[in-house]
Amino acid sequence: MNCISAATILLCLISSAWAQLSPNVSTFASGFKNPRGLKFGPDGSLYVAEAGTGGTLSTEGICDQVEFVPGPYRGGFTARISKISPDGQTVTTVADNLPSAVEALGDTIGIADVAFIGDTLYALSSGGGCSHGLAGTVAEVLRVNPDGTTTGIANLSQFQQTHPTVSPHPGPGFEPDGSWYSMIAIRGALYAIEPNHDELVMITTDGNIHRIADISATQGHTVVTAIVYDGNFYVGNLGDFPIVDGSSRILKITPSGQVKVVATGFTTILGLVADPNHRFLYVLENTTGGNLFPTPGTGRVMRIDRPGHVEEIASGLSLPTGMTLGPDGNLYVSNWGFGPPDMGEIVKITLPDAEKQH
């Protein structure tokens, strides 16, 4: 069964019950609202970006909209950031009432990812913007303050509207405010990926935004979603719908912005993790098996080594949307990253000791 909307996802719950999770996959924490990117903080806790559930606010007639379909969006302030204790037993809210938007097919965007620079937490807020139903807001990078409030440090909506890429999403799927997805911190700066316009940018803590690469200029509209750094940037793409099995690829982007395809044959990439010993990459695939649209129970994690050999690490995941490496050397994945509210969970994928950092 192919799932694309919230209604059909509910029907797919029945079919996904037959999906067999790999024995090395276990639930770490649950009860999240569309969990996306996640990172471990310096305190050993796991911080989770939650896209939220959108809302009922509309800006039709006020500003340019994302056309039907997937638009129009309806906005609200239901996104948040949660923190999971190192033992997985306690979940607390770090910041909430953040911009979230839901589109006509039921998918949501909100807080897309988090990253730390030192002890300071930053969030990639993708749900804001007038085109997402939220007048007076923008897509931006937020600094999370110790008291749980947030401060906008970089206006991503304005940057994209004044710095267009060569080949953004064509037709009705174009997002005036973007649909920012992944963010990492490297040497005191933040780097974010945006899939609708297909670009990689650097954001400094004082709010400057600099484009590292217009990926669309060489790759066309490819829907880049995942990023990791290992001497160079490595970027994976989701691709368009209907899904074409094996159509996703991994790009290497140098710090100066040179783009090169380094691996092919993957499907719906939504996460990348680099082995700390520089031996291989872990690749999170949302949907596999020839399904044309997102389908529960078909997500998996693959591993690719430097010679290019690919091996399955975990399977049976349901609509996974983000992945990070834990201090214990295991992988942590946002499972049920979109679908019914509060169904999101974080799962741990236990890796063999031989694969962990020593």
Report the distance separating Cα 323 and Cα 330, nearest Å.
10
Please tell me whether residue 131 adopts helix, strand or coil conformation.
Answer: helix
Give the C-alpha distances (Å, rounded to integers) separating 43 from 83, 120, 154: 10, 11, 26
Please, where are the H alpha helices in 130-220? 156-162, 216-219
Report the distance separating Cα 72 and Cα 64, nearest Å.
10
Spatial contact of 302 and 313, defined as CB atoms under 8 Å apart: yes
User: How far is C-alpha 282 from the geometric centre of its chain's CA atoms?
Assistant: 15
Report the distance separating Cα 64 and Cα 175, nearest Å.
9
Q: 10 lies in a domain?
A: no
Kindly report the CATH number assigned to the domain that includes residue 186.
2.120.10.30
Q: 143 lies in a domain?
A: yes
Q: 167 lies in a domain?
A: yes
Report the distance separating Cα 358 and Cα 355, nearest Å.
9
Report the distance separating Cα 94 and Cα 144, nearest Å.
8
Give the C-alpha distances (Å, rounded to integers) separating 59 from 106, 137, 159, 235: 18, 11, 21, 33
Q: 16 lies in a domain?
A: no
The one-letter amino acid code at 37 reads: G
Q: 52 lies in a domain?
A: yes
Per-residue pLDDT of the chain (358 residues; tens, 9 = 90+): 344 444 444 445 444 444 689 999 999 999 999 999 999 999 999 999 999 999 999 999 999 999 998 899 999 999 999 999 999 999 999 999 999 999 998 999 999 999 999 999 999 999 999 999 999 999 999 999 999 999 999 999 999 999 999 999 998 889 999 999 999 999 999 999 999 999 999 999 999 999 999 999 999 999 999 999 999 999 999 999 999 999 999 999 999 999 999 999 999 999 999 999 999 999 999 999 999 999 999 999 999 999 999 999 999 999 999 999 999 999 999 999 998 888 999 999 999 876 775 4
Number of domains comprising the chain:
1
Q: 5 lies in a domain?
A: no
Residue 130 belongs to domain spanning:
24-355
Give the C-alpha distances (Å, rounded to integers) separating 157 from 2, 125, 161: 32, 10, 6
- State both tokens at 95: 């910041």
Q: Which one, of 56, 74, 41, 306, lies nearest residue 185 by Cα? A: 41
Long-range CB contact pairs, 88-94, < 8 A, 24+: 88/28, 88/29, 88/346, 88/348, 91/29, 91/31, 93/148, 94/47, 94/121, 94/144, 94/148
Backbone phi and psi for residue 112, each to the nearest 5 degrees, phi listed first? -95, -30
Q: 1 lies in a domain?
A: no
Please tell me whether residue 15 adopts helix, strand or coil conformation.
Answer: helix
